[in-house]
Chain A
Amino acid sequence: MNYNWNWSIFFEPAPGGTGTYFDMLLSGLWLTIQTGIFAWIIALIFGSIVGVLRTLPSKTAYWIGFAWVEFFRNMPLLVQLFLWFFVLPELLPRSWGLWLKQMPNAPFYTAAIGVGLFMSARVAVQLAAGIASLPRGQKQAATALGLTTFQGYRYVLLPIAFRIIMPPLTSEFLNTIKNTAVAITIGLIELTGQARSMQEFSFQVFEAFTAATVMYLLINIVVVTGMRFLERSLAIPGYITGK
Chain B
Amino acid sequence: MIEINHVSKWYGSTFQALKDCTTKVAKGEVVVVCGPSGSGKSTLIKCVNALEPIQEGDIILDGIKVNDPKTDLPKLRARVGMVFQHFELFPHLKIIENLCLAQEKVLGRSHDEAMAKAAKLLDRVGLKVHANKYPAELSGGQQQRVAIARALAMDPIAMLFDEPTSALDPEMISEVLDVMVDLAREGMTMMVVTHEMGFARKVAHRVIFMDQGEIVEDALKDDFFGKPRSDRAQKFLSKILSH
Please report A residues at the B interface, Cβ cutoff 8 Å. Answer: 135, 137-138, 140-148, 151, 155-156, 159-160, 163, 236-239, 242
Which B residues lie within 8 Å of A148 (CB)? 74
Q: Are A159 and B92 in contact (CB under 8 A)?
A: yes
In the bound complex, CA of A142 to CA of B105 (Å)? 11
Pair B150/A145 contact, Cβ less than 8 Å: yes
Nearest Cβ on chain B to A157's Cβ, whole angstroms: 10
Residues of A within 8 A of B67 (CB): none
A140 touches B136 (CB 8 A): no
Residue B193 interfacial (CB < 8 Å) = no
Q: Please name 13 further chain A to chain B contacts, defined as beta carbons within 8 Å, in addition to the given A147-B105, A147-B106, A159-B92, sorted by A numbering.
A: A141-B82, A141-B88, A141-B90, A144-B49, A144-B77, A144-B80, A145-B102, A145-B154, A147-B74, A238-B134, A239-B91, A239-B134, A239-B135
Give the docked Cα–Cα distance between A122 and B75 (Å): 36
| Contact, CB under 8 Å: A238 / B136 | yes
Report the contact-size class of chain B (Cβ under 8 Å from the partner): 20 to 34
B residues contacting A by CB (< 8 A) are: 46, 49, 51, 74-82, 84-86, 88-92, 101-102, 105-107, 133-137, 150-151, 154
Partner of B101 from the list A145, A163, A237 (CB cut-off 8 Å) is A145
Q: Which residues of B contact A151 (CB under 8 A)?
A: 105-106
Partner of B106, one of A145, A159, A238: A145
Taking the closest CB of chain B, its distance from the CB of A56, in whole angstroms, is 15
| Interface majority SS (helix, strand, loop, mixed), chain A | helix
* B46 partner residues in chain A, CB cutoff 8 A: 140
| Closest residue on chain A to residue B102 by CB atoms | A145
The contact of B92 among A135, A141, A236, by CB within 8 Å, is A236
Given A140-B51, A141-B90: A146 in contact with B136 (beta carbons within 8 A): no
* B92 and A237 contacting across the interface, CB-CB below 8 Å: no
CB of B105, distance to nearest CB on chain A (Å): 6
Instruction: Report B-chain residues with C-beta under 8 Å of the C-beta of A140.
Output: 46, 51, 84, 88
Min CB gap B53→A, angstroms? 10
User: What is the bound-complex CA distance between A239 and B75, given in angstroms?
Assistant: 31
**Are B136 and A143 in touch, CB under 8 angstroms?**
no
Chain A residues within an 8 Å CB radius of B89: 141
| Cβ–Cβ contact A156 & B90, under 8 A | yes
Would A144 and B51 count as touching, CB distance under 8 A? yes
Most chain A beta-carbon contacts within 10 A, residue among B91, B102, B105, B106:
B91
Residue of A nearest to B50 (CB): A143
Q: Is the CB of A147 within 8 A of B102?
A: yes
User: Please, which residue of chain B has its CB at the minimum distance from the CB of A145?
Assistant: B102
Asked whether, in the complex, the Cβ of B106 is within 8 Å of the Cβ of A135, the reply is: no
- The chain A residue with its CB closest to the CB of B138 is A238
Pair B101/A160 contact, Cβ less than 8 Å: no
Bound-state Cα–Cα, A242 to B91, Å: 11
Q: Which of A138, A141, A144, A238 has the most CB of B within 10 A?
A: A144
- Between A141, A145, A147, the greatest number of chain B beta carbons within 10 A of the residue's beta carbon is seen for A145
Complex Cα distance, B92 from A242, in Å, reads 10
- On whether the beta carbons of B92 and A239 are closer than 8 Å, the reply is yes
Choose among B77, B88, B92 the residue that contacts A163 (Cβ–Cβ < 8 A): B92
Alpha-carbon distance between A138 and B84 when the two chains are bound, in angstroms: 10
Residues of B near A237 (CB, < 8 A) are 133-134, 136-137
